[in-house]
Structure 1
Amino acid sequence: MGNPIAVLPAARLEVDHITCDFDGRRVLHDVSLDVAAGQVMCLLGPSGCGKTTTLRVIAGIERQSQGKLRIDGQTLADGALHLPPEARSVGLIFQDFALFPHLSVARNISFGLSGTRREKAARVEELLARVDLQGYADKAPHMLSGGEQQRVALARALAPKPAVMLMDEPFSGLDNRLRDGIRDETLDLLREEGTAVVLVTHEPEEAMRMADTIALMRGGRIVQQGAPYNIYNAPCDKDAAAFFSDINVITGTVQGALTDTAFGQFLAPGYADGTKVEIVFRPQHVKIDFDRGGRGPNPTPHDGVPARGVVERARFMGHESLVEFRMDFNNQILKATVPAVFLPRPGMALWLTVRRERCFVFRK
């Protein structure tokens, strides 16, 4: 995209213990967010978890039942006050871009702008340059590619210089070949403008790529919030771990803060003796022992005790291979991913170990 434009004064979005009820049914439960200027917050979760409702409450399209909303200390909504969307300094970008088909690119961008005709034209020209669409002012939306329409939608949302940008899966309609580049350029522009961004997505990879902070939602609640690295590597429960990738799960019973499994003992601090627990680990943290070839286990402190499994199937996935094993100890299927091409034949027996520091222990 083009040359940077002036950075706006810093603004901060505060969502303070918001609840929302529809027809007597609570759809948001005590949702709190704090998004600084230039920061990207991703609301991540499955369909129906409350992501879009949260966005609509922030925008003022829906009313919360309890809680407060503030931008840069100014209250937008509380028990007595409810500013309408046009008074909130909030921009919106939707999945379908929502451009006006009967208006030119320039008129789409200037729609809703105040000021003289010259001031509006200058702002449109500035934004067209910023999103690399010089010369597109007189084109109609149907003449543009999906990526170009997305840029026009971004320019229109930025035109009134909002303090907060709300984005509801804005890149899902783009071709995969274009998505990464346009996504990165869009967020770079928003950060340069000092805009606080709240973005809705159901794709974990997109959230980790884009977000400074992820709020993982489930059933109308935020179940975990933090930096992508922390949420991925320290999930709050089994479902949170499973949302970001495939997982393997083995069960055990705690005795003396330890759990015995076919892979050896796992630490289970904080659980009382007799507690049933689930040990969760990702396929990439299963190590296939190529050297032993089934000749017998040889425990190591780092990876624990090897357990024997028989290959059920192996699939090449591009940058890695996925191998599924039926384990001797309980006849369950465990998955392992290995770099490059490794496609053992079905029925082949191999020994597996699990990296201790990559395992999570949760109450069953």
Structure 2
Amino acid sequence: MSDLRIRGAVKRYGPVVAVGGVDLDVRAGSRTAIVGTSGSGKTTLLRLIAGFEAPDEGEIHFGEACLSQGSRFVPAYKREIGIVAQDGALFPHLDVAANIRFGLGRRADGDIHVQRLLAAVELSPTIATRRPDELSGGQQQRVALARALARQPKLMLLDEPFSALDSGLRQSVRDSLCHTLDSAGIASILVTHDQVEALSFADQVAVMRGGIFAQTGTPLDLYLRPGSVETALFLGKAILLTATAGPGYVDCVLGRIPASTRGKTGAVDIMLRPEQVLVHTRPTSPVGRDTRSIAASVTNVRFEGPDCTVGVAIADAAMELTLKLPSFGAPEVGRVLHLVVGGEAHVF
């Protein structure tokens, strides 16, 4: 079992700093997601870890081995690291079985392992004799995953590996891959633009912006306690309000809400996630609080499958909020709802 440790990694391309001094720890057997916009440095960092590029500064260690430090550089083929690129990069002249066997080397039981690996990525054994150009994009990506798993790496790097899959299959394959990686004790680093994918996949999430990590932590901590407004909005829908801070609470248009104010008083900026705003059809008083629910009228409803986006206007505050509610029993426009906040507000 090996831990990955990155300290001060820098990569420049001429005057452009793609990675600007990154520290990262990935525990053996854990799952990390690196999320950020295009051009933030995610894939460049992955290439430094894989050994396709050498850092200009900093060091990378994997277990007891030093992979990159000063003039020392271990090439990619000598690192016990697997990688799945966004396009899969299958060998076009080989069929599916031969592509996967390439990762198995000279194992005598290669055919048995091919069938097991196909099952692990939810592919039928009947496609083993097909060539890549006879597969859909999603099938190609899953074959690439199977080939990478065949090498039994200690660390798996995943660069947008589910991008070619439809949403339902994406979750299914992701869950299967997590089970396979966990069973084998393989640590993994996922690079993705999909915030929901990052939050559901990883034990640790790193938000990358401008070549550095804006924030690193558990998915729950980053989602509920983002370090900046930019990170809050990047990771999901957010309700941003001004409030007045007191000892252990804030007062705002939604009433008095518990909050870790960290000694702050007076005007502060706060964040709530839309799902924290609970909807009632009649006035109610939150348990243990001295404020009542806040009345608001529905201004618009947008159907989005299992959920719907609901706009509400708080008359006394001349303010509109956007909430996320189940589509079943969604309120009609004009209806008066009574809002209560659950959980804590996050104070920036």
Aligned pairs for 1:14-53 (under 5 A) are 14-53=5-44
AA of the residue aligned to 1:226: G
- Tell me, yes or no, if the aligned pair for 1:131 and 1:155 is still in contact at 8 Å: yes
Instruction: Work out which of the residue numbers 290, 293, 304 in structure 2 matches 1:306.
Output: 293
Q: Distance in 2 between matches of 1:39 and 1:298?
A: 43
The correspondence for 2:223, drawn from 232, 241, 245, is 232
Measure, in 2, the Cα distance between the counterparts of 1:70 and 1:226: 21
TM-score by length of 1: 0.83
Larger-Rg structure = 1
The amino acid across from 1:44 in the alignment is V
Aligned to 1:270: 262
**2:243 equivalent among 238, 242, 252:** 252
Point out the more displaced range, 192-201 or 71-80.
192-201
Q: Distance in 2 between matches of 1:189 and 1:289?
A: 43
User: Does structure 1 conserve the Cα–Cα contact (< 8 Å) formed by 2:7 and 2:23?
Assistant: yes
Other-structure match for 2:277: 286
Partner of residue 346 from structure 1, selected from 328, 333, 338: 333
- Other-structure match for 1:5: none
| Residue 252 of structure 1, CA deviation | 2.9
Q: 2:36–2:209: 8 Å Cα contact kept in structure 1?
A: yes
Equivalence for 2:346: 360
- Residue 300 of structure 1 and its aligned partner are, at CA, apart by 6.0
Q: Which residue number in structure 2 is paired with residue 80 of structure 1?
A: 71
Question: Match for residue 322 of structure 1?
Answer: 309
Two-structure CA RMSD over aligned residues (Å): 2.8
8 Å CA contact retained: 1:315, 1:343: no
The change in CA–CA distance for 1:285 and 1:258 in structure 2 (over 3 A counts) is: closer
Q: Distance in 1 between matches of 2:290 and 2:117?
A: 52
Deviations 1:226-281 (A, max 9, x none): 3323332333333333233211111134477865423334556335545x421211
DSSP-derived class of the 2:148 partner: helix
Aligned pair in 2 of structure 1 residues 255, 123: CA closer, same or farther (>3 Å)?
same
Name whichever of 66-75 and 303-312 sits farther off. 303-312
CA contact (8 A) 1:147 1:182 kept: no
Q: How far is the alpha carbon of 1:303 from its aligned partner?
A: 8.2
Deviations 1:33-64 (A, max 9, x none): 22233222111222222211111111122222
TM-score by length of 2: 0.86
Q: Which amino acid aligns with 2:194?
A: E
Other structure's SS at 2:73 match: coil
* SS of aligned partner of 1:55: helix
Relative to structure 2, which stretch is displaced further, 226-235 or 159-168?
A: 226-235
Identity %: 36
Contact preservation (8 Å) 2:32, 2:202: yes
Q: Is the CA contact (8 Å cut-off) linking 1:164 and 1:196 kept in structure 2?
A: yes
- Name the CA distance, whole Å, in 2 between partners of 1:148 and 1:137: 11
Three-state SS of the structure 2 residue aligned to 1:291 is: coil
C-alpha displacement of 1:111: 3.9
Does structure 1 retain, via aligned residues, the 8 Å contact 2:141–2:164?
Answer: no
1:176 pairs with 147, 154, 167, which one? Answer: 167
Contact 2:18–2:211, Cα closer than 8 Å, also in 1: yes
Aligned length: 343
- CA 340–78 in structure 1, closer or farther in 2 if over 3 Å, else same: same
Between 1:304-313 and 1:63-72, the stretch displaced more is 304-313
Per-residue CA distance 1:275-311 (angstroms, 9 max, x = gap): x42121122111334114xxxx867644844333332
How far apart, in 1, do the equivalents of 2:117 and 2:200 lie? 23
User: Could you say which residue in structure 2 is the equivalent of 1:3?
Assistant: none
**Closer/same/farther in 2, CA of residues 100 and 290 from structure 1, 3 Å limit:** same
Shift in Å at residue 120 of structure 1? 4.8
Report the Cα distance in structure 2 between the residues aligned to 1:168 and 1:224, rounded to whole angstroms.
Answer: 20
Q: Point out where structure 2 has 5 or more consecutive residues left out of the alignment.
A: none
In the alignment, residue 166 of structure 2 is paired with which amino acid? Answer: D
Taking a change above 3 Å as real, the CA distance of residues 58 and 303 of structure 1, as seen in their structure-2 partners, is: farther
Q: How does 1:152-163 map to 2 (within 5 A)?
A: 152-163=143-154
